[in-house]
């Protein structure tokens, strides 16, 4: 069986500076895979390359059997790869409902879109209560919910979440992680980028540790969670 997403020797550079230096990993359908690592490890660069916002210097990405090289970002979404970007990037001057509708920009099934918007409100009731409000007025955690809900609106085969817990209060962070767990139990395939290694590894099937553009360690979420070097470097134990 071939994986849903296969990344082979991917290299990405900003000018002369190589941010991703030849990484390979794959994501099987139904799995939650996480990339962890510190700031500047190349995690966000990897996701932005997968969704087509950045062009790789070399390497191969195959998604759902199709090579992604040269495919523009707006066509990659159509293939079923959704990306909830770092820093949330909701559309601040549009309402919550309009943000969600934009997530379904490429869909034509009006009834299905309405149903999925309702599902987003069920998943995050606060969004339903504030549906007519400009998204820029939401708190950080609420914006994160909106960004996730919006990414789900495209009915993705693979959902990429970049730092969903960034800048959130511990309570809000728990809520977001619980939602990811819920999505996982519903069978959503997720590629999760996190600095919060503890939270990410405890719900991931597979984990990869990135350091300055390379994957330095891979394993199951549980294995990495108990790996001594990971505990020292990322979980704050000595």
Partner 1 sequence: MNTLPQQLANGLFLGSMYGLIAIGYTMVYGIVQLINFAHGEIFMTGGFGALTVYLLLPDGISMWVALPAMLIGGALVAVLIAVGAERFAYRPLRGAPRLAPLITAIGLSLALQQAVFNWYHVDGDAKTARVFPQLPFGPLHIGSVTVQSGDIFLIIAAPLCMAILALFVRLSRTGRAMQATAQDPDTAQLMGIDTNRIIVVAFAIGGFFAAVAGVSYGLKYGSVSYDMGFIAGLKAFTAAVLGGIGNIYGAMLGGLVLGIAEAMATAYIANIPGMQQLGGGGWASVWAFVLLILVLLFRPQGLLGERVADRA
Answer yes or no whether residue 56 interacts with partner 1 by CB under 8 A.
no
Residues in contact with 163: Cβ distance below 8 Å, sequence separation at least 6, in sequence order: 44, 86, 87, 193, 194, 195
Region 129-148 residues binding partner 1, contact defined as CB under 8 A: 136
Tell me the residue ranges of DSSP E strands in the chain: 5-14, 17-27, 32-36, 58-63, 66-67, 81-84, 158-162, 189-194, 206-211, 214-220
Of the candidate residues 2, 30, 40, 78, the single one contacting partner 1 (CB under 8 A): 78
Q: What does the block give as tokens for 231?
A: 């505990």
Q: Residue 106 CB, nearest distance to partner 1 (Å)?
A: 4
Answer yes or no whether residue 45 interacts with partner 1 by CB under 8 A.
no
- Rank residues 66 and 74 by Cβ distance to partner 1 and give the closer one: 74
Angle at the Cα of 62 from the Cα atoms of 206 and 25, rounded to 5 degrees: 25
Of the candidate residues 9, 66, 67, 106, the single one contacting partner 1 (CB under 8 A): 106
Answer yes or no whether residue 8 interacts with partner 1 by CB under 8 A.
no
Rounded Cα distance between 163 and 44, Å, is 9
Answer yes or no whether residue 55 interacts with partner 1 by CB under 8 A.
no
Answer yes or no whether residue 13 interacts with partner 1 by CB under 8 A.
no
Answer yes or no whether residue 43 interacts with partner 1 by CB under 8 A.
no
DSSP character at residue 159:
E
Q: Residue 93 CB, nearest distance to partner 1 (Å)?
A: 6
Q: What does the block give as tokens for 11?
A: 């290299």
Rounded Cα distance between 58 and 110, Å, is 40
Of the candidate residues 38, 101, 133, 214, the single one contacting partner 1 (CB under 8 A): 101
Region 154-193 residues binding partner 1, contact defined as CB under 8 A: 154
8 Å CB contact between 69 and 30: no
Rounded Cα distance between 166 and 188, Å, is 21
Answer yes or no whether residue 14 interacts with partner 1 by CB under 8 A.
no
Region 79-98 residues binding partner 1, contact defined as CB under 8 A: 82-83, 85, 89, 91-94, 98
Q: List residues binding partner 1 (CB under 8 A).
A: 51-53, 72-75, 77-78, 82-83, 85, 89, 91-94, 98, 101-103, 105-106, 136, 150-151, 154
């Amino acid at each position: 069986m071939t994986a849903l997403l296969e990344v082979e020797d991917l290299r990405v550079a900003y000018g002369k500076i190589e941010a991703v230096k030849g990484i390979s990993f794959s994501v099987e359908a139904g799995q939650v895979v996480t990339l962890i690592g510190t700031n500047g490890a190349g995690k966000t660069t990897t996701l932005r390359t997968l969704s087509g916002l950045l062009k790789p210097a070399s390497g191969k990405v195959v998604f759902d059997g199709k090579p992604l090289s040269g495919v523009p970002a707006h066509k990659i979404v159509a293939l079923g790869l959704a990306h909830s970007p770092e820093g949330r990037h909701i559309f601040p001057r549009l309402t919550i409902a309009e943000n969600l509708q934009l997530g379904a920009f490429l869909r034509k099934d009006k009834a299905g879109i309405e149903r999925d918007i309702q599902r987003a409100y069920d998943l995050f009731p606060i969004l339903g209560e504030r549906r007519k409000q400009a998204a820029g007025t939401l708190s950080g955690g609420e914006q994160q919910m909106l960004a996730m809900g919006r990414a789900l609106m495209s009915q993705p085969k693979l959902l990429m979440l970049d730092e969903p817990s960034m800048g959130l209060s511990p309570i809000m962070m728990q809520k977001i992680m619980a939602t990811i767990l819920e999505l996982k139990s519903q069978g959503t395939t997720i590629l999760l980028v996190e600095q919060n290694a503890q939270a990410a590894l405890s719900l991931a099937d597979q984990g990869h540790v990135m350091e300055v553009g390379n994957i330095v360690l891979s394993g199951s979420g549980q294995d990495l969670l108990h790996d001594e070097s990971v505990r020292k470097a990322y979980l704050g134990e000595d």
